């Protein structure tokens, strides 16, 4: 990372030099430079009185005029070229020539290339290797030097000639002329800037990379709930967002595979029970029937055999119920309403009990959004229906769902003979199972209401999770009216 930052900083420095070179060329284009030279010459006045024989006086006058003509571009060119004494090196010169050929020049001697260009220049005809307009970023901006000489007639002396010339180095050639000390200073500067850049980038990236690594380790451990949640706009952020989407897809695939595996296991258990335990119970019933016939009229033995036959019949019914539940359609396959209809149809078929289910598609979608809740309601309903089938003598079974505020009620009602709760008529394994399933729901509570001849109402109230029903009204409902709106009244 440090090497990349160093290379980047060096490249930026070179490109900055190229940009400075382009700015210098634009500033010294002949079309802009000639009018400025004429303006400064007019402001200085006639140069006819300059004594060409006194070189010091001439050079001082030319130096002052040069600075006026070149300012502020001279400083920009000096920074670009890297040497403030460019005129002393013969790469920046100003020459004054009268019509008779006399005059003076500063510096007294320029470089050969610049002398040739200044000798060839004439008013209205620049000379030298002229700078041209180029698109930014061209390689020539770094490697191509250029020479320019522009001549004018001073306004007060039409016969005289004033020539300004410069010989500009390329940025890369300037780097080759640096001293060892200047190279060390440049290297230290680049190292410091690169180290600071690398440290800044590392601080910004390391935390995000570590967060991504922790998420990957968590996913490898089997927990796909964690997300990276990097919402930046760079490549690392986009990669993290792809990882989050991958985790979502993997979670959905795993859920489907688990549901299919559970369904396959239930079907296997149902087949095994049907082929083994149920068949043996049937064989046991046949053996007991034969035994009852062999015992004849012996009273005590007959009673024991009859009791054993009744227990065997109950065992066969229990096994049939279990096999039916194992082989029933699952919520994942048919939804809560479809699974309930299949279960009730199979359980109550031929019993003479009419049944109804009131569950809107919207409510079903809300419940199926929580498969654990829907599964508990399904098992609780089949348990209640089995109790109605065995004990109530009812002719009608009603299953209903209602919701008010954040409380929901799932009720199972029958019109059977009922029982007296004060006399313990509602105890048993079935009731215990329903209480356990009710407590497994969010803030779940089970209430059973009944009376002799009044049927039984099984009502499970629980909390609907926030966000499960985004369209539901948030209006507060008085506590005393919630049961009435949810249908949990006898």
Q: Are residues 237 and 303 in the same domain?
A: no
Q: Cα separation of 462 and 468, whole Å?
A: 13
Give the side-chain half-sphere CA count within 13 A for 122: 4
Is 404 in contact with 376 (CB distance < 8 Å)? Answer: no
In a domain, 42, yes or no: yes
In a domain, 246, yes or no: yes
Cα angle for residues 272, 276, 280 (degrees, 5° grid): 155
pLDDT of the residue at 137: 46
List residues bridging with 462 in a β-sheet. Answer: 408
pLDDT of the residue at 98: 83
Q: Are residues 193 and 313 in the same domain?
A: no
Domain that holds residue 71: 13-177
Closest C-alpha among 193, 187, 175 to residue 80: 175
User: Total structural domains in the chain?
Assistant: 4
In a domain, 1, yes or no: no
Rg (alpha carbons) of the chain, rounded to whole number: 50
Give the side-chain half-sphere CA count within 13 A for 57: 8
Of 254, 286, 310, which marks where a domain is finished?
254
Q: Are residues 362 and 323 in the same domain?
A: no
In a domain, 7, yes or no: no
Tell whether pTM > 0.75: no
Alpha helices in 276-370 (DSSP H): 277-295, 299-326, 331-348, 361-368
Residue with tokens 């990669």: 239
Q: Cα separation of 192 and 136, whole Å?
A: 28
User: Positive or negative, the Cα torsion across 230, 235, 236, 241?
Assistant: positive
Is 343 in contact with 334 (CB distance < 8 Å)? Answer: no
In a domain, 362, yes or no: yes
pLDDT of the residue at 173: 62
Q: Are residues 61 and 144 in the same domain?
A: yes
Q: Are residues 228 and 344 in the same domain?
A: no
Q: What CATH number does the domain containing 350 carry?
A: 3.30.565.10
pLDDT of the residue at 185: 72
Of 199, 222, 254, which marks where a domain is finished?
254
List residues bridging with 465 in a β-sheet. Answer: none
Q: Are residues 26 and 173 in the same domain?
A: yes
Q: Are residues 435 and 415 in the same domain?
A: yes
Cα dist from 355 to 185, 385, 400, 401, 472, whole Å: 93, 10, 11, 14, 29
Q: Are residues 353 and 319 in the same domain?
A: no
pLDDT of the residue at 285: 79
Q: Cα separation of 95 and 311, whole Å?
A: 130
pLDDT of the residue at 51: 57
Q: Are residues 190 and 146 in the same domain?
A: no
Per-residue model confidence as pLDDT tens for the chain (490 residues):
556 555 666 666 666 666 666 666 676 778 878 888 888 888 877 766 665 556 677 777 777 777 777 654 444 444 444 434 667 777 888 888 888 888 888 888 888 888 888 888 888 888 876 555 444 445 555 566 778 888 888 888 888 888 888 887 766 666 555 567 766 776 787 778 777 777 777 777 888 888 888 888 998 888 888 888 888 778 888 898 899 999 888 888 888 788 778 777 877 777 777 677 777 777 787 788 877 777 766 677 777 877 887 888 778 777 776 766 665 556 666 788 888 888 888 788 888 889 999 999 998 888 888 888 888 898 889 888 888 888 888 899 999 999 888 899 999 999 988 888 776 555 556 677 788 888 989 999 999 998 888 899 999 999 987 544 444 433 333 444 444 444 444 4
Q: Are residues 110 and 230 in the same domain?
A: no
Phi/psi region, residue 352 (left: phi>0; alpha: psi -120 to 50; beta: rest), is: left
In a domain, 151, yes or no: yes
Of 203, 220, 254, which marks where a domain is finished?
254
Q: Cα separation of 46 and 68, whole Å?
A: 16
In a domain, 433, yes or no: yes
Residue 328 CA, chain-centre distance (Å), reads 41
pLDDT of the residue at 396: 93
Q: Are residues 344 and 289 in the same domain?
A: no
Q: Are residues 228 and 357 in the same domain?
A: no
Q: Cα separation of 127 and 136, whole Å?
A: 24
In a domain, 408, yes or no: yes
């Amino acid at each position: 990372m440090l090497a990349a930052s160093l290379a980047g900083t060096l490249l930026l420095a070179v490109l900055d030099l190229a940009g400075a070179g382009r700015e210098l060329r634009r500033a010294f284009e002949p079309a802009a430079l000639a009018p400025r030279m004429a303006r400064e010459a007019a402001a200085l006045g006639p140069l006819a009185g300059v004594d060409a024989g006194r070189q010091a006086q001439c050079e001082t006058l030319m130096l002052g005029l040069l600075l006026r003509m070149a300012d502020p571009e001279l400083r920009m060119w000096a920074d670009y070229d890297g040497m403030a004494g460019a005129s002393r090196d013969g790469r920046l010169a100003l020459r004054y020539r009268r019509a008779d050929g006399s005059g003076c020049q500063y510096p007294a001697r320029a470089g050969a290339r610049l002398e040739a260009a200044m000798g060839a220049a004439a008013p209205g005809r620049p000379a030298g290797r002229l700078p041209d307009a180029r698109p930014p970023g061209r390689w020539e901006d770094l490697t191509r030097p250029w020479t320019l000489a522009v001549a004018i007639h001073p306004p007060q002396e039409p016969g005289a000639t004033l020539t300004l010339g410069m010989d500009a180095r390329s940025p890369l050639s300037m780097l080759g002329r640096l001293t060892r000390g200047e190279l060390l200073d440049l290297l230290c500067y680049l190292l410091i800037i690169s180290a600071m850049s690398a440290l800044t980038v590392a601080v910004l990236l390391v935390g995000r990379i570590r967060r991504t690594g922790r998420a990957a380790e968590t996913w490898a451990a089997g927990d796909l709930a964690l997300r990276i949640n990097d919402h930046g706009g760079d490549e690392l952020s986009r990669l993290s967002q792809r990882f989050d989407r991958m985790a979502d897809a993997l979670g959905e695939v795993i859920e489907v595979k688990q549901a299919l595996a559970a369904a396959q296991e239930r079907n296997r258990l149902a087949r095994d029970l049907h082929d083994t335990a149920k068949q043996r119970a049937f064989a046991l019933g046949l053996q007991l029937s034969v035994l009852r016939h062999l015992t004849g009229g012996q009273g005590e033995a007959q009673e024991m055999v009859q009791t054993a036959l009744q227990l065997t019949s109950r065992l066969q019914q229990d096994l049939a119920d279990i096999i039916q539940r194992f082989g029933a359609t699952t919520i994942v396959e048919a939804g809560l309403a479809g699974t309930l209809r299949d279960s009730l149809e199979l359980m109550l078929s031929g019993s003479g009990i009419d049944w109804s289910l009131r569950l809107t598609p919207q409510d079903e979608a809300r419940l199926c959004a929580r498969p654990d809740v829907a599964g508990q309601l399904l098992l609780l309903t089949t348990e209640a229906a089995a109790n109605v089938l065995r004990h109530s003598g009812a002719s009608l079974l009603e299953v209903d769902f209602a919701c008010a505020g954040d409380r929901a009620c799932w009720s199972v009602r029958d019109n059977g003979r009922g029982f007296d709760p004060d006399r313990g008529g509602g105890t048993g394994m079935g009731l215990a199972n329903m209480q356990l399933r009710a407590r497994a729901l969010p803030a779940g509570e089970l209430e059973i209401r009944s009376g002799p001849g009044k049927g039984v109402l099984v009502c499970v109230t629980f909390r609907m999770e926030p966000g499960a029903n985004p369209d539901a009204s948030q209006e507060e409902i008085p506590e005393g009216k919630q049961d009435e709106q949810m249908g949990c009244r006898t």
